[in-house]
Structure 1
Amino acid sequence: MATSTSTTTSLLPHFISLSNPPPPPQPHIKHLLPLKAIAAPQTTITKSNSHSSPSKPQWNIIQKAAAMALEAIESALTAHELDHPLPKTADPRPVKHKLPVAEKSGFHSRDVREEWSDPLFEPVAGHHFFDGDGMIHAVQFKDGSASYACRFTETQRLVQERALGRPIFPKAIGELHGHSGIARLLLFYARGLFKLVDHGQGTGVANAGLVYFNNRLLAMSEDDLPYHVRVTPNGDLKTVGRYNFNGQLKSTMIAHPKLDPVSGELFALSYDVFKKTGRSQQTSNPSSEPTMMHDFAITEKFVIVPDQQVVFKMSEMIRGGSPVVYDKNKVARFGVLDKYAEDATKMKWVEVPDCFCFHLWNAWEEPETDEIVVVGSCMTPPDSIFNECDEGLKSILSEIRLNLKTGKSTRRPIMSDEDQVNLEAGMVNRNMLGRKTRYAYLAIAEPWPKVSGFAKVDLFTGEVKKFFYGDEKYGGEPLFLPTDPNSEAEDDGYILAFVHDEKAWKSELQIVNAKTMNLEASVKLPSRVPYGFHGTFIGAKDLANQA
């Protein structure tokens, strides 16, 4: 799902082609990057943390005095802000081998990795579940048994806070609102002025998404560059560091890149767009205000860029509110642009009124009607997940049709009213991304914000099959793992999900047959797996070829 912060610049979709050596990246623009992928994804779940004790910073007398003064100011500022104490986060753990795999029935060995958002330290002020430090959980299947590891991703932010023994970096959603948010920012920059912290090497949490690309497992959030995490031979996790695609990426990148299953290119929205063709290409489409853009979609030929009604208005902080706001006067629209466009002159914008999709599950072309079909979950109220709105949240799986000839759009719910449930976080068969797909596998986000199960939805008929984890059991995003990438049956595979039993305080990995929707296996895990966001799959061959 979302990350602690989204791109806070004006909407500037920007496309660049890069080769070896890459041309210099273009600043201050959003970008798509098509990069040649080395291998297909497979399943693994991971976490990252450090293996050595942090060293305390060595400050001079002026720095010590400044630190004491700023801490006193911060304590006074945040004394009344922490209204919601949180449960203790999961501790990072080394690999545990030979875990029991129950109810095996034809499930073949795979590796699964998923991203969680867990604060290393208990927050001193406001906290949102998008604000936690990135943690990767990894389950590996090998020789009929399973192993599990979890580690914090060693971001520069986490490394510095661990050395200081307390949270220092502002939390983008939970803290940066109103006058106290402005004060928190000023305190943070004052600490930087006295060199008590270093924010020049990134401030992100790497807590929202994972992708395996170009022989690297990348942990991502919208507030920083991706972090390269290596899976060790025994299944543990080790953070390598920030990854900029060999100098191609100089700014933040969203946590939902799209890997084209046919071309092997990776597309991602950010401040630049890349593809390995040897030329630099860019397009820009300025908007009057920064747009909250968490996800996008691709088809065989096009990129679909949402420009919706949730925007960033820093002036709202001066008025005492959140900078993430719903602009009711803005008309949502989707931009359609050729994947390899050299400029923005051929960007086609199609208005889709009153539409906010936090996630887009797939898109494809229907040339016979000159339409692009986009499948996403339309959320109301649009800003509810950022501002803890008391209104009942609805997330309706919808089909949006963009007519490129008329410039008009239509939108309809895919499921009937009697089958309607909130569906958020999930995927289609990734071997068919950007192509016409029949099924989507999505988390049942009820009771919000918990996930009680998942649904397999027929996107053509609206038929829904639901799988629930059990009494007082909740989980995260369902991951669809194809049995055979060349299978003719789109739903030939397994659905995997981490599940936590709140009564027994135990966690497991449940493995469900995607065709029958029956539980086929489960792995009992040695520690609690907190509720998290998105995951990916990594195969044994890919792991053996890691950079």
Structure 2
Amino acid sequence: MQVNNKLIACSTTTTSTTIINPFKHQNLYHSPLKITCKVLNPSKNIRTASASIISPSLPKIIEPLPKTQTESLPNYKPNLNNPLQRLASLALDKFEKSFILDQQKGHPFPKTVDPTIQLSGNYAPVQESPVQTGLEVLGEIPPDLHGVYVRNGANPMLPPSGAHHLFDGDGMIHAVKLGPGNKASYCCRFTKTNRFVQEKAAGRQLFPKPVSELHGQTGLLRLGLFYARAAMGLINPARGTGVANAGLVYFNGRLLAMSEDDLPYHVKINGDGDLITIGRFDFNEQVNCPLIAHPKVDPITGDFHTLSYDVLRRPYLKYFRFDKWGQKSREVHVPLPKPTMIHDFAITQKYVIIPDNQVVFKLSEMVWGGSPLRFDPNKKARFGILSKEDTNGLKIKWIEVPNSFCFHFINAWEENEGRNIVIIGSCMSPPDSIFTESDEPTQIELCEMRLDLETGKSTRRVIVSGMNLEVGQVSKHLLGRKTRYVYMAIADSWPKCDGIAKVDLVNGKVSKYMYGHDRYGGEPCFVPANYANNNNNSDCYDVNNELGNEDEGWIISFVRDGNVERSELVILTAKDMKQIGCVCMPSRVPYGFHGTFLDQKQLSVQKNN
């Protein structure tokens, strides 16, 4: 690793809390027995399911967080002293073993759901780590970069009893607190979802995994088993079934952890940098449906924009808006002919930009042994332009854009006095390569899509060719406004990330920072200089202060160095893309999904409920 052109290396020692792979320790559980951001699919080979699938053992049971005044976790445990419940539990367990677990033995798993691949290397889970201080810092932490970087990811608490997709793991947040004088600390904690609490108490999987297990007739059996256990009071899904493992966003004094199979979970960062799950957040009983993993917070108004899709009943899609105080101001039914997987969307100053792509839900496919999530080649990809002032969705305008499937959008804005909409996103081909095996190599191109609201026509232009660019960010000040720079993960070794690219949207210039041989990272987090040192009494910013200094700030990202089996947090200056600092992690940090940075002002005004 280089800092200021000098070769340096971390020399951290492993503490007693470090667990490189918890599935190598004694199994204290009894086995029998969503959708987010990316998946391992390195080749087309098929592995055979057998007892070796569950051969990795679990660590010692993870200790719960110490009780605090702010912790409010689900606490549901069935009363098995009831003879009827006891009998039902035994019968359903026997049914599960005979008709699901035993039946899957000897059958092949595609690589997209093969646990020996999905949980290999630095994708393997880790135990929780309490706060560890005094981390070694090489180079420097900028004095104004004072706050906490948090990153979400999937980290299964239990070993899979069968198929496993990367999106199925329990949510775990990794937090690095950065302070003056090169001080840094680290911790990681599970987000204590309703699902997590119940499965931890039982020591086994009770909730079906949407991506890897709800396929074909076995998927239907798993659904039936789940509903039967719920009907008998053996599990309680009423307080949520999601894993909260994908997105992270700060809104109105709360850090929210999200995945689109549930409502967000409120997580608080304590003064020492520890993480406490406050509970499932329903915006004070204003919403009771799952919300997608990538909401948008308008930097000027402070409004919170989000979507919710339903695969079973109309309306298949809803748009929600909450003002900066958390009061719901919009709930709009968006007309869609069929349920569609919508992982992300975009906003401009006046509009909400909604993708209606070709990856759809077709539950009838399960009856014939297939996956309910399908690529529909006959459907035309399009974008819906919904005015933020539209109260019923009837004025939404749809414009077709071929070959425009984007798992993630980076930004969008208006041009020509609102006549044109510009969308920046990573177009993926094949569109369903995240979920299904393909002989085609995955291609992810950073593209510009232009929509003409007057003519209804569109264009799509590849901004950077010959390079896979995924998961990226712009300056938070300019979300929904025209930006010059985007900061992207270079994913030529897909799904691993080889480095960070700063792309100039005006001239197409790409400035790269490569991690080096056998070093891989994830999503870059851009922290604007005046954001990190925010002293305002609001989450809103004056966009005029940002113009001309858009790349004034830092880029931070976790990196795993396979040469020495060490994890680091690297810090770059965004202007010149040079590394100025590195925090050596005391234990392994697995690859994950999305992150954000909370400054001192945001940390100081966090809410307890």
Same fold (TM over 0.5): yes
Aligned to 1:35: none
TM-score normalized with structure 2 length: 0.79
Q: Distance in 2 between matches of 1:147 and 1:181?
A: 43
Tell me, yes or no, if the aligned pair for 1:224 and 1:252 is still in contact at 8 Å: yes
Which residue of 437, 454, 468 maps to 1:422? 468
1:164 correspondence with 2:202 = yes
Q: Distance in 2 between matches of 1:55 and 1:200?
A: 11
1:436 correspondence with 2:479 = no
Q: Distance in 1 between matches of 2:96 and 2:492?
A: 37
Tell me, yes or no, if the aligned pair for 2:143 and 2:179 is still in contact at 8 Å: no
C-alpha distance 370-274 of structure 1, shift in aligned 2 (>3 A): closer
Shift of 1:251: 0.8
Aligned to 2:134: 98
Q: Distance in 1 between matches of 2:388 and 2:493?
A: 39
Tell me, yes or no, if the aligned pair for 1:259 and 1:265 is still in contact at 8 Å: yes
Which residue of 522, 530, 533 maps to 1:484? 530
2:140 aligned partner, one-letter code: K
1:62 correspondence with 2:84 = yes
* Secondary structure of residue in 1 paired with 2:320: coil
Q: Distance in 2 between matches of 1:255 and 1:426?
A: 15
Aligned to 2:101: 78
* Secondary structure of residue in 1 paired with 2:186: strand
1:51 aligned partner, one-letter code: L
Aligned to 1:142: 179
Which residue of 60, 65, 86 maps to 1:51? 65
Q: Which moved more, 1:280-289 or 1:494-503?
A: 280-289
* Secondary structure of residue in 1 paired with 2:444: strand
C-alpha distance 96-199 of structure 1, shift in aligned 2 (>3 A): same
Aligned to 1:529: 589
Within 5 A, what are the aligned runs for 1:340-419? 340-367=389-416, 370-415=419-464, 417=465
* Secondary structure of residue in 2 paired with 1:290: coil
Tell me, yes or no, if the aligned pair for 1:118 and 1:133 is still in contact at 8 Å: yes
C-alpha distance 276-516 of structure 1, shift in aligned 2 (>3 A): closer
Shift of 1:217: 0.6
Shift of 1:283: 3.5
Q: Distance in 2 between matches of 1:272 and 1:357?
A: 19
1:510 correspondence with 2:570 = yes
Aligned to 1:5: 35
CA RMSD after TM alignment: 2.1
Shift of 1:368: 5.0
Within 5 A, what are the aligned runs for 1:236-247? 236-247=274-285
Q: Distance in 2 between matches of 1:406 and 1:426?
A: 31
Aligned to 1:187: 225
Shift of 1:540: 1.1
Tell me, yes or no, if the aligned pair for 1:229 and 1:238 is still in contact at 8 Å: yes
Aligned to 2:315: none
* Secondary structure of residue in 2 paired with 1:263: coil
Q: Distance in 2 between matches of 1:369 and 1:203?
A: 41
1:259 correspondence with 2:282 = no
Tell me, yes or no, if the aligned pair for 1:161 and 1:168 is still in contact at 8 Å: yes
C-alpha distance 374-96 of structure 1, shift in aligned 2 (>3 A): same
* Secondary structure of residue in 1 paired with 2:399: strand
Q: Distance in 1 between matches of 2:438 and 2:160?
A: 21
Which residue of 105, 120, 125 maps to 1:89? 125
Which residue of 368, 371, 377 maps to 1:328? 377
Tell me, yes or no, if the aligned pair for 2:405 and 2:431 is still in contact at 8 Å: yes
Q: Distance in 1 between matches of 2:198 and 2:141?
A: 46
Within 5 A, what are the aligned runs for 1:255-334? 255-270=293-308, 271-276=318-323, 281-334=330-383
1:130 correspondence with 2:176 = no
Aligned to 1:30: none
How many pairs were matched up?
A: 500
2:127 aligned partner, one-letter code: D
Tell me, yes or no, if the aligned pair for 2:151 and 2:173 is still in contact at 8 Å: yes
Shift of 1:91: 0.6
Aligned to 1:460: 506
* Secondary structure of residue in 1 paired with 2:594: strand
Q: Distance in 1 between matches of 2:147 and 2:274?
A: 15
Q: Distance in 2 between matches of 1:78 and 1:493?
A: 52
Tell me, yes or no, if the aligned pair for 2:260 and 2:293 is still in contact at 8 Å: yes
Q: Distance in 2 between matches of 1:377 and 1:258?
A: 17
Q: Distance in 1 between matches of 2:334 and 2:63?
A: 39
Tell me, yes or no, if the aligned pair for 1:300 and 1:434 is still in contact at 8 Å: yes
Shift of 1:515: 1.1
Shift of 1:55: 9.5
1:212 correspondence with 2:250 = yes
Tell me, yes or no, if the aligned pair for 2:303 and 2:321 is still in contact at 8 Å: no
C-alpha distance 125-370 of structure 1, shift in aligned 2 (>3 A): same
Q: Distance in 1 between matches of 2:328 and 2:293?
A: 25
* Secondary structure of residue in 1 paired with 2:87: helix
2:378 aligned partner, one-letter code: N
Q: Distance in 2 between matches of 1:252 and 1:282?
A: 14
* Secondary structure of residue in 2 paired with 1:537: strand
CA deviation map 1:359-409 (0-9, x unaligned):
111001002582100000111111110123342111111000000010000
- Percent identity of paired positions between Structure 1 and Structure 2: 51
Within 5 A, what are the aligned runs for 1:33-52? 50-51=64-65
Shift of 1:346: 2.1
CA deviation map 1:263-304 (0-9, x unaligned):
111111124513349885543332221011111101111111
CA deviation map 1:58-80 (0-9, x unaligned):
41333233223322332342342
Q: Distance in 1 between matches of 2:231 and 2:191?
A: 26
| 5+ long unaligned stretches in structure 2 | 1-33, 37-61, 68-74, 309-317, 532-544
* Secondary structure of residue in 2 paired with 1:170: coil
Aligned to 1:20: none
CA deviation map 1:452-491 (0-9, x unaligned):
2121111122211221222211122100011124453111
TM-score normalized with structure 1 length: 0.87
Tell me, yes or no, if the aligned pair for 1:303 and 1:337 is still in contact at 8 Å: yes
Shift of 1:149: 0.8
1:520 correspondence with 2:585 = no
